[in-house]
Chains A and B, each alone.
Chain A
Amino acid sequence: MKPATFRYRRPETLDQALAELGEHGSGASVLAGGQSLVPLMNQRRARPAVLVDITRLPGLGQVTDAPGRLRVGALVTQAAFERAPGLAGRCPIALECLPFTGHLATRNRGTVGGSIAHADPRAELPLALLVLGGAAEVASAGGRRTIAAEDLFTGPYESALRPDEILVATAWPTTDELPGQAFEEVAQRHGDYTIASAAVALRVEDGVVAAARVGVGAVGDRPLLVPEPGAVLAGRVVDEDAAEAAGRAAADAIEHPLADIHGSAAYRRHLAGVLVARTARRAWERAVA
């Protein structure tokens, strides 16, 4: 399986990169780690006329600590993110979901920005960012804008980025805001086809849940933020009963679960509920620890 021909551009500055996109519009694709894009190109399911390789752009490869959030440059690889010092304390949900993201060799090259921009409905990082209430920082020739995670994933492999925009960083709210975080998934095969996933991030005040954000992945056409289980958990101690209630609420709230050879709709709905219950419980335990 060999890719179709393309013109290759490797700009040295962000402005040059944006100019390329501006010139070629939707005929151009951004190439970062390539772990999502190149398989599609090899299968000729993606055929960009122009490939803009941004991997050598300076200034996009840092993880910076900012108040209440980690700012992750778009070119930070998944492996580098996984090894970011203090990640376990600052953003445990990311650390928990990264080992499920592909394999060692794909994480060495695949970028955090690339995974977010690719918007695979089964991917782990988009779900984690959504549940944390993070955001994407996006640049175009016209300037910069921030897109909240809730507005970022618009469909299967569709994001709110315009063809002339490049994602330059993602912002990951930390345990300062949401100290209780957990992620879990069931995959058909480790590192590959996710059947269902769930993530919870919550804050505890006065011994009960003050705010809880719950999301499920791989059950719909995009990662889903599900308010109902959060409402169930609000004001409560998350014991087994509360966790199960949250799980049931999540399962009931999913309108049209995906059905395919790896899982029926009923199974995905059920599994999503199970995983929400488990992650709610773990997130609580971490928050009160």
Chain B
Amino acid sequence: MAKAMLIDVSKCTGCRACQVACKAWNDLPGEVTTCLGYYDNPPDLSPNTWNRIAFYEIEREGGQVAWLFRSIRCMHCTDAPCVRVCPTGALYKDPLGFTAYDESKCNGCGYCTQFCPFHIPRLKDATVWGKGKVAKCTFCQDRVVNGLIPACAQACPTGAIEFGERDELVAEGRARVDTLKAKGYDEANLYGKNLLGGLGTMYVLTDPPDTFGLPEAPSGALAEVWQLQTLGGIGIAVGATALGLLINWLIARKQIKVEEM
């Protein structure tokens, strides 16, 4: 039942339809930017940019130039560290499998922005007196729930971004990797099949993940530690102490009679 997206970088032409589609559907304003010596703009995700194309210029063996494009957005991890670490439960896993959030519950702590191994969520209005709300790709939750597909997947002209049932996309991703390998892309790989319980946004990559700035082994371990701490720590430590004190009180009260000074 889980939905996912498969992004095949070999089909992506970097046209940025998906980048603008995300802005258009989510009514996000354009930012003020300058040319930084490459085509990337804005240079990073932000509260107003939830999906951006990164351009990678590399030289392969034999001096062959390659220009690769990757759409950077939330990976919608099955075992999402941001969800684990969100203290208010604003971030949650939608039954359809993606990582959604209820803005009204977000208290702006910003934990999600730091625990995400892909560095995706951003905090908007994060000034001292500001409300601070999480901002990231929502998988176009309102579209998906109403039988449409995410704006980026619809906008993509070449079909580089596909949306559908996760296991079917995994099978397709594997087939694509085989095709790419047959074409000579020896290091083609399907990224995200099992990471963090399986990513909701998977990539068919032509080159190793680090070429695209993707971590080989992203970890949500500290988030798990923290969550354990929340469930366990407070409960056990404080509860045990309180219990101990209660016992002490019950006993000591009877045993100790102190004269008035």
A binds B: no
